[in-house]
Amino acid sequence: MAGNHFVASIDIGTEKIALLVAEQEEDDYLRIFAYNACPSKGVERGSISSIDFLSREITQLIKKTEEGFDLDLIRVRVNISDTHLTCKDSSSQIRVDEQVKLEDLESVLDSAAAITTSTNKQEIHTIKKKFTINEESEVDDPMDMEANVLEAKVHIITVSSSSVRNIENCLKQSNLEVEDIVLNSIAKSHAVLTQEQKNSGVCLLDIGAGVTSYSVFQEEGIVQSGIIAMGGDDVTEEIAYAFDTSLEEAKRLKENYGVAKTLSQSDDRFIDFTQANNNEERQLSCLDLSEVIEETYREIFEALKNELKHRKLDTIIKSGFVLCGGGSEINSIEELIRNFFSKRVKLGTIQRSRIGGLEAILTDYRYTGSIGLLLHEGDLNKRKSIVSNRNNGVLDKLKGTFAKNF
């Protein structure tokens, strides 16, 4: 990419690929100035199924964007959605000689991050959660504090090594370098969650076309992430099966007339549609359509509910759910989730404190993942130099060594 003050991101989904480019201004504020999107090919259930098909789509997308905005794109940040992801917390303690020094921080963080992973797994995130002084006081910045013992706790996320290689090989075929690979739900958390929501306990729920991803946060930071192997495409397939119609027609019915919460009898009406292998128009009840849609969404939420309960996370989600993804755009989805989980629910909106630019992009749900990738600052595995603006204080020295609390 021409120049040193630009950041580019590609959000690869089951249904679409979204590309954004932003300029870095003062105080790391980002201003989006280039964008493009296209249908996705070679992706199933959030994972790459054909590198060739996908790389062709990305190559064309890059070409159109470069020509349209006079750019030379070389390095991009990209998302990953892997049903084989695992999450765990890890901690480590070290002895300190009177005061915490920079080398103490680096040592304890490196030690906490040193875990054994299987040969088919790869770490993509190691996120700093907290420091503890003398086994009693939790602090954000322990530099220069008096201490005998320093403890660090980190959150480590691993995914399938083959999934990472597939992404790298795909972008390589498109003549792109990978700057960073970020878990999809973590990327989107940067875009739509406030620190207040994270601190009070929240679940970010991303209902995509192929999969439904989630990440749970509380005051200490990120707690757990996971993926349910169902999404908006399953709703479309159930409509097609129930009314004997094509997937294309089922998608039209869902997007134009669908509601997630079953209609009351008084709100019912009939709509025209075309059955498979039959050009004659038929009619179906909006009430019947809503029942099929709600039943499928309930299957997704039942799987999520069981997973949250199994991991004992259901009780810490005090702020409820924040929704994103194409599957959350359907009417009455908030009401259905609110009734199902007995929790507060709201649709996520882009947080504007660190990013701006094209209003049409900032309000388009298709670009939420790409925006989150632009906002991602890295973690323990991604070291980079950042100019200190706080008299060489510890947080500035270590911005490239550990991520902020997610």
Q: In terms of domains, do 153 and 234 share one?
A: no
pLDDT tens per residue, range 108-152: 999 998 888 888 999 999 988 889 998 888 888 888 898 899 999
292-324 burial, b if ≥16 CB within 10 A, otherwise e?
bbbebbeebbeebeebbeeeebbebbebbbbbb
Instruction: Flag whether 43 is in a domain.
Output: no
Q: Which residues make Cβ contacts (< 8 Å) with residue 54, sequence separation at least 6?
A: 12, 17, 40, 41, 42, 43, 48, 170
Q: In terms of domains, do 331 and 208 share one?
A: yes
pLDDT at 1: 40
pLDDT at 140: 81
Q: In terms of domains, do 204 and 342 share one?
A: yes
Instruction: Flag whether 128 is in a domain.
Output: yes
CB 159 within 8 A of CB 124: yes
Instruction: Flag whether 94 is in a domain.
Output: yes
Q: Rounded to an integer, what distance in angstroms lies between the CA atom of residue 136 and that of residue 156?
A: 23
Instruction: Flag whether 73 is in a domain.
Output: no
Mean pLDDT of 34-39: 96
pLDDT at 393: 38
- The CATH number that applies at residue 100 is 3.30.1490.110
Mean pLDDT of 215-237: 93
In the chain, how many domains are there?
2
- The CATH number that applies at residue 261 is 3.30.420.40
Mean pLDDT of 300-328: 95
Q: In terms of domains, do 255 and 130 share one?
A: no
pLDDT at 403: 44
Instruction: Flag whether 247 is in a domain.
Output: yes
Q: Rounded to an integer, what distance in angstroms lies between the CA atom of residue 317 and that of residue 308?
A: 10
Q: In terms of domains, do 113 and 237 share one?
A: no
**pLDDT band at 5; cut points 50, 70, 90:** confident
Instruction: Flag whether 64 is in a domain.
Output: no
401 or 351: which leads in pLDDT: 351
pLDDT at 396: 42
Q: In terms of domains, do 205 and 295 share one?
A: yes
Q: In terms of domains, do 198 and 147 share one?
A: no
Domain hosting residue 135, numbered range: 86-160
Q: In terms of domains, do 156 and 211 share one?
A: no
Mean pLDDT of 234-257: 96
Q: pTM of the full predicted structure? A: 0.88
Q: In terms of domains, do 227 and 326 share one?
A: yes
Checking if the pLDDT of 23 tops 90, the result is yes
Instruction: Flag whether 310 is in a domain.
Output: yes
Instruction: Flag whether 364 is in a domain.
Output: no
pLDDT at 380: 57
Q: In terms of domains, do 216 and 149 share one?
A: no
The closest alpha carbon to 48, from 178, 162, 126, 196, belongs to 162
Mean pLDDT of 325-350: 96
pLDDT at 387: 24
Q: Considering only 160-164, 264-268, 308-312, which range has the smallest mean pLDDT?
A: 264-268
**Segment of 135-144, 209-218, 394-403 carrying the highest mean pLDDT:** 209-218
**pLDDT band at 390; cut points 50, 70, 90:** very low
Q: In terms of domains, do 201 and 328 share one?
A: yes
Q: In terms of domains, do 140 and 216 share one?
A: no
* Average pLDDT taken over every residue of the chain: 89
Mean pLDDT of 275-292: 90
pLDDT tens per residue, range 263-276: 766 778 999 999 98
Domain finish residue from 312, 332, 350 = 350
Q: Considering only 25-29, 216-220, 262-266, which range has the smallest mean pLDDT?
A: 262-266
Domain finish residue from 139, 160, 181 = 160
